[in-house]
Structure 1
């Protein structure tokens, strides 16, 4: 007689990765980089358009219930989130004296408070697993400041304090928390600048060019990989030397 006992199901390959705001620009490149590594990648979007090979999860990070629902969806499909990349963010640029309460609160609630909601929920599963990687996407603006971006700079600088506090709280459980701070990147957001504005920006950057989204993604996947297992509480600038590591 032949043994017809069915073989046990294969364990899913790769890690469960969640990238917020992953339908375009930097977030899309990050999601695609994790897919290329063989990870199981979920992407949050507001209106769809996630990259091929990812799970498209609709989520508004300013809504606590939507964040909870998104995590439940990801956990059912891919298991507990092992890598969180908090990338979702908005801008409402204007000079300080013209900045309305809504201009301020909407940016802070999305970029800073929204990230708080994400990392708090993700850390619950990571604590049970006794491992995890959290990467927050900040900006060189959060280090250097920028006229007309008081709200945005404050939100992005706040991510550094958040990450370093979490690194101290969660490190003993095998969870790393780091920040990637991109400079000027070739995305839809920078594509609206005039040629004169683009030239002026490049003059400030020692490398004399913009970054590609893929270069930012490379820093993120490194922080989430084995070679960065002893890196936590770090701020990795991907800015062509603009901020000089501030």
Structure 2
């Protein structure tokens, strides 16, 4: 029988094939959750995540799914729930980054960034929320960014999307809490992931120099916050944002 803080719970994690998402999949597996995660065209990394989770005694489901596509999301959620059971926990983590000076951001790039981060969070959440509400239980964890609070050069579209995620987190938290569904967010600082390395060397050097801790974070330093918010330890957390950012934003 599974043991751990999430034993018996069914969890969906978007963007789970690498980076923070992969660390969360593994942390959830370690805590006894039945997990399913999605990715976009990243089957090799997804297989590696599954292998590491299997070593922890878990059997995650991985599917290719663009979170900005409602039909793809519906197929992912259906497959996950048929295999693992009704969704108890959702982590909206899928993300991409495109860095440009504000005047060079194309409308297509703006729409793409908001499509994944904000529209995607809405679509996936709406796909599982009604079930959570009807069962009287749910945990939704939205991965935002410290840049939602302080902004960042060449990332106006990304900052706007992540700020929108925080706004939606608080709004849904108010609506959902009376039904036993707790909605919270994590705002990581710069973490050693593929998204960070899309940014220029100058940007990364400048950002590193701003951090009181003097370094970027590691994915395993973010995952415990997701475990906490998904567990009964966070039973009085409603609409909160946990800041795991090396001191970039102190709130």
- Superposed pair shares fold, TM > 0.5: yes
* Paired residue secondary structure (1:18): strand
Mean CA deviation greater in 206-215 or 173-182: 206-215
User: 2: CA distance between counterparts of 1:155 and 1:193?
Assistant: 17
Q: CA deviation at 1:197?
A: 5.0
Q: Is the 8 A contact 2:96 2:195 kept in 1?
A: no
**Residue 86, structure 1, aligned to residue 97, structure 2:** no
Which structure's CA Rg is the greater one? 1
Q: CA deviation at 1:199?
A: 4.1
- Give the direction of change, closer, same or farther, for the CA distance of 1:192–1:96 in structure 2 (3 Å limit): closer
Cα distance per residue 1:85-144 (max 9 Å; x no partner): 000011222111111110111111111011100111110110121000000000111111
Map of 1:36-185 to 2, 5 A cutoff? Answer: 36-47=30-41, 48=43, 49-50=45-46, 51-52=49-50, 53-185=59-191
User: 2: CA distance between counterparts of 1:92 and 1:192?
Assistant: 7
User: 1: CA distance between counterparts of 2:183 and 2:244?
Assistant: 17
Structure 2: 5+ residue stretches without partners: 51-58
Pairs aligned (count)? 234
User: 1: CA distance between counterparts of 2:190 and 2:203?
Assistant: 12
User: 1: CA distance between counterparts of 2:85 and 2:72?
Assistant: 18
- Normalised by the size of structure 1, how large is the TM-score? 0.90
- Give the direction of change, closer, same or farther, for the CA distance of 1:117–1:194 in structure 2 (3 Å limit): closer
Q: Is the 8 A contact 2:145 2:188 kept in 1?
A: yes
Of residues 16, 21, 24, the one that matches 1:22 is 16
